[in-house]
Amino acid sequence: MSESRNNYKKVDIHLELINELRKRYMTRQDIRDFLSARYISYGKVPSKIANVFDYKVCERTVKRELESIADKYQDQLDYVNGAYKLDLNDFPDTLDETEIQALEIAIQKISYNKNAQNILKNLKAKLTTKLYNKINRVELKNTATRKINEIDQKVNVNFAYIGPHHITMFDTNVKSVLDSAIINLHEVEFMYKTNKKLVQPLGILYGPNNVYLIAYPKDDDKPWHYILSDIKNAVETDISFDPGDFSIQEYANSMFGIYDEGKVYNVEWLVKDPNIIKIVKQYQFHPTQKLITNTDGTLTIKMRTGGLRAMSIYLTQWRGDIIPIKPKELLIEYRNLLKRCEKSIEDIK
């Protein structure tokens, strides 16, 4: 009976280790400490002896436990920077480059919804990393590298843009430093074009043409926009800062487009054509928008936002089917834009 009880204790400890590995990354020393404490608590080692001799399980026990878990869960046991973690989210074995490509296409197609686009980008990054890690674990290094390169090539070759678009290029190492500084609320130092900057990073903003770091410059309480591709040699400092009640999402909601003119307006547009109204109802122009059907059948679009210059440029794409109504500053900006466009072709025959 005692041997049977001991076996049950071993199984319990083994299951507890599996649960712990699901919660966090553990080094071999972490696993050794965890198993040692469990062996003592289950009475496999008398507490008096354990206390006197600072009892620890041997490395062979750690190895045996890890081999048993790896045998059961195979590529679901992640190993990163000397630490192990179990990912039991049933990651699909059949994931391939065509599905990553489909995610990339979806990311581009929902560019009007930046929040959803960013979520899909994060999902694509996680799935891609999972796929690459799996390849590296089960194949020889040279073969794995070649296969990863083939996947990257297939994703790129089988994807096409339509219409003009800006190719956003930035240093991923810089992005990693900025992400860490934003999470840790640490000031960050970098070269911006030809100038050295020390700023308090608040968040990353994905615009239609560029990716921006939003940050307070030192001794300034107004957010500035820094184009990510122009940031070089970023270093996270150990200087903490208080962002106050700043929210990157609320900040983005205060603008139409990336340009912040420092003022928010009550904006109204009008749509008269019933066919255009059907199309417009499928769009989200701004997070604060409200669609109001008028008694004459027309549609009023209301929102509270700034960015009248970007809004005027956008409205020209609708060729007059969406009519700006309020505020007067929007009408002035819109008329001036149309006049500039007309003036630019006056002398062309």
pLDDT band, very low/low/confident/very high, at 166 (cuts 50, 70, 90):
low
The pLDDT of residue 53: 45
* Token digits of residue 15: 């299951």
- What is the Cα–Cα distance from 262 to 259, expressed in whole angstroms? 9
The pLDDT of residue 338: 93
The pLDDT of residue 269: 95
**Range 314-333 average pLDDT:** 93
Higher model confidence: residue 19 or residue 141? 19
pLDDT band, very low/low/confident/very high, at 125 (cuts 50, 70, 90):
confident
Flag whether the pTM goes above 0.85: no
Helical H segments across 258-349, by residue range: 274-280, 308-316, 328-344
Q: Which CATH class is domain 2-86?
A: mainly alpha
**Range 213-219 average pLDDT:** 86
Q: How far apart are the first and last CA of the chain?
A: 102
**Range 31-53 average pLDDT:** 67
Mean pLDDT over each residue of the chain, to the nearest integer: 78
* Token digits of residue 33: 């400490």
Pair type for strands 186-192 and 77-80:
unpaired
pLDDT band, very low/low/confident/very high, at 17 (cuts 50, 70, 90):
confident
- The alpha carbon of residue 35 and the mean position of all alpha carbons in its chain are separated, in whole angstroms, by 36
Predicted confidence (pLDDT) at residue 241 exceeds the cutoff of 50:
yes
pLDDT band, very low/low/confident/very high, at 278 (cuts 50, 70, 90):
very high
Name the residue ranges covered by the structural domains of the chain.
2-86, 97-157, 172-253, 265-344
* Type of residue numbered 49: I
Determine whether 177 is exposed, middle or buried from the number of CB atoms within 10 Å of its CB (0-12, 13-18, 19+).
buried
Predicted confidence (pLDDT) at residue 246 exceeds the cutoff of 90:
no
Angle at alpha carbon of residue 271, lines to 266 and 275, rounded to 5°:
150
Predicted confidence (pLDDT) at residue 199 exceeds the cutoff of 90:
yes
Predicted confidence (pLDDT) at residue 141 exceeds the cutoff of 60:
no
CA dihedral of 71, 77, 79, 85, whole degrees rounded to 10: -130
User: What confidence tens digit (pLDDT) does each residue in 282-297 have?
Assistant: 888 888 889 999 999 9
pLDDT band, very low/low/confident/very high, at 49 (cuts 50, 70, 90):
very low
User: What confidence tens digit (pLDDT) does each residue in 50-108 have?
Assistant: 453 466 778 888 888 888 888 877 767 888 888 888 876 555 556 666 676 677 767 76
The pLDDT of residue 336: 93
- Fold (CATH) for 172-253: SH3 type barrels. (2.30.30)
Share of the chain above pLDDT 90, in %: 21
- What is the Cα–Cα distance from 233 to 193, expressed in whole angstroms? 11
pLDDT band, very low/low/confident/very high, at 203 (cuts 50, 70, 90):
confident
pLDDT band, very low/low/confident/very high, at 4 (cuts 50, 70, 90):
very low
Cis link prior to 327 (omega < 30° from 0)? yes
